[in-house]
């Protein structure tokens, strides 16, 4: 176990993916994640990789596609509007089954919105803004350590399923410092090893087979077969990638559902409510797709309300309702625009909600 | 017995899906023959565009991937980072490169990316059925300029070689035409030069190949060749726009 | 031991972010849990710099965001006006009286007036004002072991900055000594 270090979120994220095997970074500056390309431009050339500042987010996602199609472990970071611009590429990557690790340090929207923390990318990242039937696993860590562990694992997940993998953080996590233990660096493929490690990737037909990476399938029956194949893969991902943390559901009068930074706020609200004699529990989805619907089965008969604590107008409510299946009223405590609730505010609003539903 | 002609292994033994009289097939063949003659087929990675030649990977016998519309230079830049020792090229039409992909091609050229781009300029959107392209000539009819392109309505056609030649990044830029045996031989020399420049690590190399689209021009193949020679080449002069020593 | 929430505010260049980081490092070296969060959200408006530190000796820090603080340090007047209300009843407010003539208005909190810049000048380096203030805070609210603050100081003030180590260690006790 290596020593704990104090790191700023954005730099810890970048270090974690490098240790996870990423050697190629493509990005375009956007607040609040610009420390990541800055870090990558310093570090990757020293570690046998390459940094390339793209002309746009469109350029970045397509460079990462080229990198992935050629067998490299690529990484992209951006923030909400930049992620929006990359949606065509994400659909393409899924269709062509090319792995890449993505990090969205999200901010307020719609449009250019604000540079303050937001979670209103929920629909964008879980439903996807690109065309066609596809899925991208999304992980929403709540601490820098958890983000580091997930980003370290993400390149391997992307390779295993030949699919993009996204980590959703927010500007607050990117700027925060927290002690972390960094995992040991994994081996990263050299360009010579790619032809044997990833025979499907472009490395030259001298390897004995000809590789073609593509998303176009003009014959309907061929495309249908391909989409069915993708969804067989997504079904496996749903089984293997679902992650959730539940706490105090057995006797909870109220259950919070929150991810990322808001989960930490809800955690403190739980403690404050407990001090006032109100038992609160929490379901913290770590994977937003696949969404941990089954976790909601553990909500007890004592629970009077399920409350989503979100930095959006309630984009997660649809999934929560699918999990709750109408057994308990589902309510929302939220702020948007970059405004952040305090845990005290969550406590007060929770008490009001409990009065309403009692 | 000494063979007098051998079909290149660079082309897969299938018929292309291009229209009769279209010069995509000629362009494919001279690029693949050149790679074959240079002994590079096994170490070449190609990027196909969106357009008629999206299916280039069904005919070109090298490792290939598709790119989203216009993004081939970004894709090739990513490939190049992973495989610094391979030969990388993009094959792009005029809608792909000169319209939707203008940002990617200009920046790849400005960075002096070490790959080669073959730019097929036939002055029209072929795959979608003959709409006006950024390279459509003034007066030329298309399905979105039925009375002919006007400067007032659509501005002037883009001259990509001239535009890229204003940049310091590219190492080699040449415009050729595929209208006659002599010009096709010259085009093949330009393709050879582009790969030489790449192998020598000189930087970005770019060959524009003036091409025909008889179907959407509404001309016979022979008349299309004549139009390319007389009208198209008059607006898009052939020649070397950036010379590189290799 | 319970969670301690600390807040540091001042203008850019007064070392308020560093003060918070020093404490966070010291907490980490002491195997405690800690978070450091710089001015973020609407608090960024107005040209003041601030940071929040939450230290939890045993369990992980629940929330890096605070609605009240046990200890608040204000290095300039705008910070006093804006953040006096953040101190929880019975908590501590440390006012840099070298820069702030005004007095605090609340009587349900402990207020300490620390002439941090004056003391730093007397020590011979005006830039140690933030360390003087950090020392004052620790003498009232010993949230982390002093040895661990020394440890981060030894890492920070090494090499070309090694000559600054002794003066900073002295600065940690300067206010207490002077009292």
Quick: pLDDT tens for A263-313.
999 999 999 999 999 999 999 999 999 999 999 999 999 999 999 999 999
Q: Is A30 exposed, middle or buried (0-12, 13-18, 19+ CB in 10 A)?
A: buried
Closest-CA distance of chain C to residue A127, Å: 27
**pLDDT on residue C47:** 62
Q: Is the dihedral of CA A80, A82, A88, A89 positive or negative?
A: negative
Place of tokens 């006007």: B150
In this predicted structure, which of A17-31, A240-254, C37-51, C161-175 has the lowest mean pLDDT? C37-51
SS3 content of chain A, % helix, strand, coil (to 5): 45, 20, 35
Question: Mean pLDDT in chain A?
Answer: 96
Report how far residue A19's alpha carbon sits from residue A188's, in angstroms, rounded to the nearest whole number. Answer: 9
Select from A284, A273, A276, A279 the least CA-distant residue to A304: A279
Taking residues C31-44, report their average pLDDT: 80
Select from B159, B242, B162, B228 the least CA-distant residue to B194: B242
Q: Are B161 and B167 in contact (CB under 8 A)?
A: no
- Whether residues B74 and A58 touch (CB distance < 8 A) is answered with yes
pLDDT at C45 over 70: no
DSSP secondary structure string for all residues of B148-214: -B-HHHH-PPP-HHHHHTTSSS-SEEEEEE-SSHHHHHHHHHHHHHHHHHHHTT---EEEEEE---H
Q: Are B123 and B231 in contact (CB under 8 A)?
A: no
**pLDDT on residue B28:** 98
Q: What are the residue boundaries of the structural domains of chain C, listed by start?
A: 4-178
At B244, list the tokens. Answer: 């590189």
Distance (Å) of CA C178 to CA C103, C114, C124, C135, C136? 21, 10, 15, 12, 11
Residue from C23, C25, C28 whose CB has the most chain A CBs within 10 Å, to mutate: C28
Predicted confidence band of residue A71 (pLDDT cuts 50, 70, 90)? very high
- State percent of chain A over pLDDT 70: 100
Q: What 3-state DSSP class applies to A79?
A: coil
pLDDT at C46 over 70: no
* Partners of residue C38 in chain A, C-beta under 8 Å: 175-176
Taking residues A147-163, report their average pLDDT: 98
Closest-CA distance of chain A to residue B80, Å: 8
**pLDDT on residue C1:** 62
At B44, list the tokens. Answer: 């070449």
Which domains are seen in chain A, by residue range? 4-241 (3.40.50.970), 245-357 (3.40.50.920)
Report how far residue B63's alpha carbon sits from residue A212's, in angstroms, rounded to the nearest whole number. Answer: 6
- The CATH architecture to which B24-242 belongs is 3-Layer(aba) Sandwich (3.40)
What is the crossing angle of helices C116-123 and C165-178, to 10°?
Answer: 130
Q: Are A140 and A288 in contact (CB under 8 A)?
A: yes
What is the crossing angle of helices C129-140 and C116-123, to 10°?
Answer: 120
Report how far residue B71's alpha carbon sits from residue B69's, in angstroms, rounded to the nearest whole number. Answer: 6
**pLDDT on residue C100:** 97
Taking residues C141-169, report their average pLDDT: 95
- Whether residues A96 and B66 touch (CB distance < 8 A) is answered with yes
Mean pLDDT by 10 residues, chain B (246 residues): 90 95 97 98 97 96 97 98 97 97 98 98 95 97 96 97 97 98 98 98 97 97 97 98 85
* Partners of residue C56 in chain A, C-beta under 8 Å: none
**pLDDT on residue C40:** 59
Q: What is the pLDDT of residues A28-55, one digit of tens each?
A: 999 899 999 999 999 999 999 999 999 9
Class level of CATH domain C4-178? alpha beta
Q: What is the pTM of this model?
A: 0.94
**pLDDT on residue A263:** 98
- Whether residues B78 and A26 touch (CB distance < 8 A) is answered with yes
Q: Closest-CA residue in chain C for A267? A: C62
Q: What are the residue boundaries of the structural domains of chain B, listed by start?
A: 24-242
**pLDDT on residue A157:** 98
Q: What 3-state DSSP class applies to A50?
A: strand
pLDDT at A1 over 80: no
Angle, CA of B114, B116 and B119, to the nearest 5° = 145
Q: What is the pLDDT of residues C55-103, one digit of tens each?
A: 999 999 999 999 999 999 999 999 999 999 999 999 999 999 999 999 9
pLDDT at C39 over 90: no
Taking residues C14-39, report their average pLDDT: 96
* Partners of residue A59 in chain B, C-beta under 8 Å: 71, 74, 77, 103-104, 107
Q: Closest-CA residue in chain A for B74? A: A63
């Amino acid at each position: 176990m290596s020593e704990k270090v104090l790191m700023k979120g954005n730099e810890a994220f970048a270090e974690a993916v490098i240790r996870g095997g990423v050697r190629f970074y493509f990005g375009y500056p956007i607040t609040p994640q610009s420390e990541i390309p800055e870090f990558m431009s310093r570090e990757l050339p020293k570690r046998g990789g390459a940094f390339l500042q793209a002309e746009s987010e469109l350029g970045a996602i397509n460079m990462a596609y080229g990198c992935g199609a050629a067998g490299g472990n690529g990484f992209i970071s951006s923030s909400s509007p930049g992620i929006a611009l990359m949606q065509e590429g994400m659909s393409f990557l899924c269709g062509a089954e090319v792995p890449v690790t993505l990090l969205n340090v999200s901010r307020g929207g719609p449009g250019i919105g604000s540079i303050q923390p937001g979670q209103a990318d929920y629909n964008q990242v879980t439903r996807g803004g690109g065309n066609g039937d596809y899925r991208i696993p999304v992980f929403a860590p709540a601490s820098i350590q958890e983000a580091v562990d997930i980003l370290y694992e993400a390149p391997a997940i992307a390779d295993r399923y030949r699919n993009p993998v996204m980590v959703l953080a927010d500007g607050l996590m990117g700027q925060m410092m927290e002690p972390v233990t960094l995992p040991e660096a994994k081996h990263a493929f050299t360009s010579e090893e790619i032809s044997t490690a990833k025979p499907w990737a472009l490395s030259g037909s001298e390897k004995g087979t000809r590789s073609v990476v593509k998303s176009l399938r003009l014959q309907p029956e061929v495309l249908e077969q391909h989409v069915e194949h993708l969804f067989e893969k997504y079904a496996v991902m749903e089984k293997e990638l679902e992650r959730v943390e539940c706490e105090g559901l057995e006797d909870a009068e109220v259950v919070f559902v929150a991810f990322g930074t808001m989960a930490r706020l809800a955690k403190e609200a739980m403690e404050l409510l407990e001090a006032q004699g109100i038992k609160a529990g929490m379901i913290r989805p770590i994977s937003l797709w696949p969404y941990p619907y089954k976790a909601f089965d553990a909500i007890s008969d004592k629970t009077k309300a399920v409350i989503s604590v979100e930095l959006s107008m309630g984009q997660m409510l649809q999934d929560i309702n699918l999990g709750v299946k109408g057994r308990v009223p589902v309510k929302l405590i939220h702020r948007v625009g970059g405004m952040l609730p305090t845990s005290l505010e969550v406590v007060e609003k929770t008490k009001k909600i409990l009065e309403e539903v009692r | 017995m000494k063979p007098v002609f051998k079909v290149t292994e660079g082309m897969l033994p299938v018929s292309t899906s291009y229209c009769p009289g279209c010069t995509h097939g000629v362009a494919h063949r001279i690029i693949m023959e050149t790679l074959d003659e240079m002994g590079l087929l096994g170490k070449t990675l190609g990027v196909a565009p969106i357009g008629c030649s999206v299916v280039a990977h069904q005919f070109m016998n090298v490792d290939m991937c598709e790119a989203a519309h216009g993004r081939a230079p970004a894709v090739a830049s990513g490939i190049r980072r992973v495989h610094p020792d391979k030969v990388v090229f993009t094959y792009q039409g005029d809608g792909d490169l000169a319209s939707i992909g203008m940002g990617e091609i200009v920046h790849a050229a400005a960075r002096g990316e070490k790959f080669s781009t073959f730019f097929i300029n036939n002055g029209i959107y072929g795959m979608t059925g003959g709409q006006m392209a950024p390279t459509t000539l003034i007066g030329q009819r298309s399905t979105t300029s039925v009375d002919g392109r006007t400067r007032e309505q659509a501005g002037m056609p883009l001259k990509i070689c001239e535009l890229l030649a204003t940049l310091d990044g590219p190492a080699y830029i040449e415009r050729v035409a595929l209208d006659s045996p002599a010009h096709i031989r010259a085009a093949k020399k330009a393709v050879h030069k582009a790969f030489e420049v790449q192998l020598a690590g000189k930087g970005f190399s770019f060959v524009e190949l003036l091409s025909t689209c008889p179907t959407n021009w509404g001309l016979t193949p022979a008349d299309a060749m004549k139009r390319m020679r007389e009208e198209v080449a008059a607006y898009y002069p052939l020649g070397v726009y950036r010379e590189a020593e290799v | 031991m319970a969670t301690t929430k600390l807040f540091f505010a001042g203008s850019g260049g007064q070392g308020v972010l560093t003060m918070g980081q020093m404490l966070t490092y010291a907490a980490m070296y002491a195997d405690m849990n800690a978070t450091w969060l710089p001015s973020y959200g609407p608090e960024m408006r107005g040209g003041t710099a601030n940071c929040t530190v939450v230290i939890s000796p045993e369990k992980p820090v629940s929330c890096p965001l605070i609605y009240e603080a046990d200890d608040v340090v204000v290095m300039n007047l705008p910070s006093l006006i804006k953040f006096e209300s953040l101190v929880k009843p019975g908590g501590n407010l440390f006012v840099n009286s070298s820069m702030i003539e005004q007095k605090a208005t609340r009587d349900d909190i402990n207020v300490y007036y620390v002439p941090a810049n004056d003391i730093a000048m007397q020590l011979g380096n005006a830039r140690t004002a933030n360390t003087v203030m950090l020392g004052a805070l620790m003498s009232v609210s010993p949230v982390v072991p002093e040895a661990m603050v020394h440890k981060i100081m030894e890492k920070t003030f090494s090499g070309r900055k090694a000559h600054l180590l002794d003066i900073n260690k002295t600065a940690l006790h300067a206010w207490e000594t002077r009292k």
